[in-house]
Amino acid sequence: MPSIVVVGAQWGDEGKGKVIDMLTERADFVVRFQGGNNAGHTVVVGGQEFIMHLIPSGILHRGKFCVIGNGVVVDPLVLLEEIEGLKKRGIDIDSNLGISDQAHLIFPYHKALDKLKEAKVGPGKIGTTGRGIGPCYTDKASRVGIRVADLLDDELFRRKLKMNVEEKNLLFTRVYEAPPVEFDSIYRDYCLYREKISPYVISAPLLLNRALEQNKTILFEGAQGTWLDIDHGTYPYVTSSSATAGGACVGTGVGPTRIDQVVGVVKAYTTRVGEGPFPTEFPPPLMEQIRAKGKEFGATTGRPRRCGWFDAVLVRHAILVNGISEIAVTKLDVLDNSPRVRICTGYRLSGKTLDHPPAAIDRWPEIEAVYEDHPGWLTDTSEVTSFEDLPPQARRYLKRIEELLRVRISIVSVGSKREQAFHV
Ligand code: GDP
Ligand code: IMO
Ligand code: MG
């Protein structure tokens, strides 16, 4: 298997964790390249559910080396809890996990700022996960961020932390009228984290490029989704990192010539958590129905996910900006009870039909989705193990999606368990 990037082609939660788990069988390395613990990637194995926030989903397979790349923002407390949680469940971590020395660290002041910013803007808020992701990437871009390598050097760490705490405390007290944070307690906690994290620290570019020289295969695990990408998403209702395929290079130090394939993951419908436009969002009764059947509650925050019909306009654009060569369609089973299924094929805006979305966010609320209707299959698909065994209406629905997107469907998933999916 060549090197593959797996990305979400909608607004996150497409089932990337499950697809990564499937593809890991044939990989040697699995690497997260962006985002942080705003992600929640679910894998269900042997009746047990695992939700990964920072550690790549490949960790559940024995002997696969998992890397947290330089593009990821790491909350060390969350990481250590995740490591301990997995160890308790019998997962081997110590010889299978590497953390980039260039990854930026999330501090308590990032989490506090995330929440204060959201509260201050009120109705115009983004609906973030409150994990400090945006403020941490802000510090990275402002060149004041603290990286894993800085934490390992006590003198440097102390200096950088002091500077940051002083600067943030001005913001807390003068702008947000909030209590300041305390240098001493943060410093003490992070020194403890340093002890526990240091055995895992690696250089991601060196490790991964050496692996490629030895013909090892690498899976790049995207978090969030294309429409949450800082450049290509529904800005400003996005996350603060590059969730598209290009992020895999930037966030690991592996060059684009070493990447062979990009797999886009989509749900058979669409969901979104947080604020922002959503042209195919369901009206209330259908929303409740699909949310209940699809268990559409955030894996990280538990918030109810907004649900809607499959939007081919969104995904077509995602295919373009990621260079997606094939797609995995998940949660087909969630549509099993729908007498009619709809696909959005175009956007009507100011009397014109668009086949790619507008850049200006202010135009989005005016978008009217153009639908094409298909008969539902009204059959349980959760035990189907091949494309040929799907009900004819479900096959036609998927074939139509392929036709509209002009890419091949290579994986179909019909349930949350590892065995409820098949290659096409
Ligand atoms: P990710 O963030 O892209 O990895 O996706 P999440 O884990 O946040 O959300 C996907 C949810 O759908 C999880 O609860 C999965 O267990 C579940 N899931 C994945 N594939 C399927 C499927 O084919 N059918 C059903 N019913 N659930 C699925
Ligand atoms: P996975 O990897 C779905 C959303 C938040 C919010 C916006 C910005 O599980 O698909 P942030 O905390 O990143 O600043 O929030 O992005 N968001 C996600 N939505 N799945 C995710 O991750 C998400 N990570 C962030 O709800 O709208
Ligand atoms: Mg998720």
Same domain, 271 and 347: yes
Say whether both 161 and 212 belong to one domain.
Answer: no
Pair (306, 362) in one structural domain: yes
Radius of gyration of the chain (CA): 21
The response to whether residue 34 sits with its C-beta less than 6 Å from ligand 2 reads no
| Tally of domains in the chain | 3
* Rounded average pLDDT over 216-228: 98
Query: Mean pLDDT throughout 388-398?
Result: 98
Query: Distance between CA atoms of 2 and 249, rounded to whole angstroms?
Result: 15
Q: What's the CATH code of the domain at 238?
A: 3.40.440.10
Same domain, 154 and 180: yes
Beta carbon of 10 within 6 Å of any ligand 2 atom: no
Here the CATH number for the domain that contains residue 317 is 3.90.170.10
Residues 347-372 have a mean pLDDT of 94
Determine the 3-state secondary structure of 343 from DSSP: strand
pLDDT at residue number 124 = 84
Between helix 154-170 and helix 108-121 the angle, nearest 10°, is 20
**Distance from first CA to last CA of the chain, Å, rounded?**
16
In a shared domain, residues 235 and 303: no
| Confidence check: pLDDT of 383 > 90 | yes
What's the rounded Cα separation, in Å, for the pair 43 and 51? 7
Mean pLDDT (the chain, rounded): 97
Co-location of 281 and 384 in the same domain: yes
pLDDT category, 355, cuts 50, 70, 90?
confident
The yes-or-no verdict on residue 261 having pLDDT over 70 is: yes
140-189 pLDDT, tens per residue? 999 999 999 999 999 999 999 999 999 999 999 999 999 999 999 999 99
| Residues 273, 315 within the same domain | yes
At residue 48, φ and ψ (nearest 5 deg) are -105, 135
Whether residues 300 and 380 share a domain: the answer is: yes
- Tens of pLDDT along 329-341? 999 999 999 999 9
Same-domain status, 119 and 253 = no
Q: Is 6 in the pocket of ligand 2 (CB under 6 A)?
A: no
Domain shared by 274 and 402, yes or no: yes
Number of residues assigned to the chain: 424
Residue 272 has pLDDT above 80, yes or no: yes
Domain boundary (196, 212, 228) is at: 196
**Which of residues 147, 171, 196 is at a domain's end?**
196
Closest C-alpha to 34, from 113, 137, 115 = 137
Q: What percent of the chain has pLDDT over 90?
A: 96
Question: CATH number, domain at 189?
Answer: 1.10.300.10
Q: Is 28 part of the annotated catalytic residue set?
A: no
Residue type, 288: E
Which residues form the domain of 81?
4-100+201-263
Best probe residue, ligand 1, of 13, 16, 296 (max atoms within 8 Å of C-beta) = 13
To test the ligand 2 pocket, which listed residue (137, 238, 239) has its Cβ within 8 A of the most ligand atoms? 239
Which candidate in 21, 28, 41, 317 is catalytic? Answer: 41
Expressed in angstroms and rounded, the spacing between residue 323 Cα and the centre of ligand 1 is 23
Task: Give the E-state strand segments of 48-144 in sequence order.
Answer: 48-52, 65-68, 73-74, 97-100, 104-105
Q: Let me know whether 59 and 207 are in one domain.
A: yes
Q: Of residues 127 and 355, which shows the higher confidence score?
A: 127
Residue 123 pLDDT greater than 90, yes or no: no
Ligand nearest to the CA of 73: 2
Separation between Cα atoms, residue 267 and residue 409, nearest integer Å: 12
Concerning whether 311 is annotated as a catalytic residue, the answer is no
Q: Kindly tell me if the per-residue pLDDT of 1 is higher than 70.
A: no
205 plus 192 within the same structural domain: no
Decide if 31 contacts 208 (C-beta within 8 A). Answer: yes
Q: How confident is the model over 287-316, as pLDDT tens digits?
A: 999 999 999 998 888 899 999 999 999 999
Q: Which of 263, 281, 313 is the last residue of a domain?
A: 263
